[in-house]
Amino acid sequence: MRHLRTMNDLSNKEIMALIEEAMEFQQGKHWAPETPTFVANLFYEASTRTKCSFEVAERRLGLQVLPFEVSTSSVNKGETLYDTAKTLQSLGVSALVIRHPEEEYFNQLHNIQAAIINGGDGCGNHPTQSLLDMMTIYQEFKRFEGLKITIVGDIRHSRVARSNSDVLHRLGAEVKFVAPEEWKDDSYPTDSYITMDEAINTSDVVMLLRIQHERHHSGKAGLDDFHKQYGMTIKREEEMKPNSIIMHPAPINRGVEIASELVECDRSRIFKQMENGLYMRMAVLKNALTKNEGGKEHDNIIKEWEMA
């Protein structure tokens, strides 16, 4: 792996190798580059988790993090993303973590040699979120094959739904969706949509999504009654299968996607996802910076996964 733009940049084996490496970092593994290595985080959209966890990951790997704020940069003078990336590369920056509102912004960056790590492109993709979600699911169930995972809410505008549904399917899980009519994504087969009650009774993982108000053109439409119809209410949580878990990429709208009391309940893996995000981003950065092909030094997890 060099660039990580979408999950399609990774084979299934590379995904499993990253999960294993992230778990090694979680257990205290140490790695640092041999020579000073600069990275920059370019966030053209708001972020708490992704930006902070990349920064902590970079510092823990001993990388030199270039302070870069879009709001005080020449982006304000109209500099393009390509020119900004090329400038940082000219200064010797080896990896650029980029979040941008434009879908597939990375297509403009073909000539950039620095590793591009996508921190979210509009409604498109969010590969490191997807990887940390895969890590969380794998730690819980030790397999993907045969798991039933339901993604609930604003499917159409969610880059998390897109990245996760494709990869979960590829790894052997059964993926279903629950969404109000106006937030369904027609690119998924109609029979992949189920009711919230069916999701609650049958899913191993119920993955809630934030309502993406900033990507809606019609203000806060669709919110009325959302919690009652599609939210994780206290009653629904009680009806979930034993051992099934609740996930949410956060930020959370408490009382909308999930009852506030359930955010830290026994089934919730929401803060576990955030913790895993740090270790997964360490693994992603290491692989991007070392051009590690993946899969070679992680035979154990690959064998375990192939046998599951």
**Residues that bind ligand ASP in the complex, under the rule CB under 6 A:** 49-50, 120, 126, 129, 159-160, 210, 249
CA distance 275 to 56: 11
Shorter beta-carbon distance to ligand ASP: residue 33 or 122: 122
Residue nearer to ligand ASP on the CB measure, 14 or 154: 154
By beta-carbon distance, which residue lies closest to ligand ASP?
210
Is 49 or 86 the residue whose CB approaches ligand ASP more closely? 49
Report the run of H or E that residue 94 belongs to, with start and end: strand 93-100
Indicate the residue among 250 and 289 with the shorter CB distance to ligand ASP. 250
Q: For strand 148-152 and strand 245-247, is the pairing parallel, antiparallel, or unpaired?
A: unpaired
Closest to ligand ASP by CB, 172 or 222:
222
Pairing state between β 93-100 and 38-43: parallel
Closest approach of ligand ASP to the CB of residue 253, in Å: 9
**Measured distance CA(53)–CA(65) in Å, rounded:** 13
CA 8, CA 126: separation in Å to the nearest integer?
11
Q: How far is the CB of 46 from ligand ASP (least distance, A)?
A: 8
Cα–Cα–Cα angle for 90, 96, 98, nearest 5°?
130
Minimum gap (Å) between residue 207 Cβ and ligand ASP: 11
Secondary structure of residue 243 in the 3-state scheme: coil
Least gap, CB of 255 to ligand ASP (angstroms): 16
Instruction: Assess contact for 282 and 290: CB atoms under 8 A.
Output: no
Provide the minimum distance between the beta carbon of 95 and ligand ASP in the complex, in angstroms, as a whole number: 19
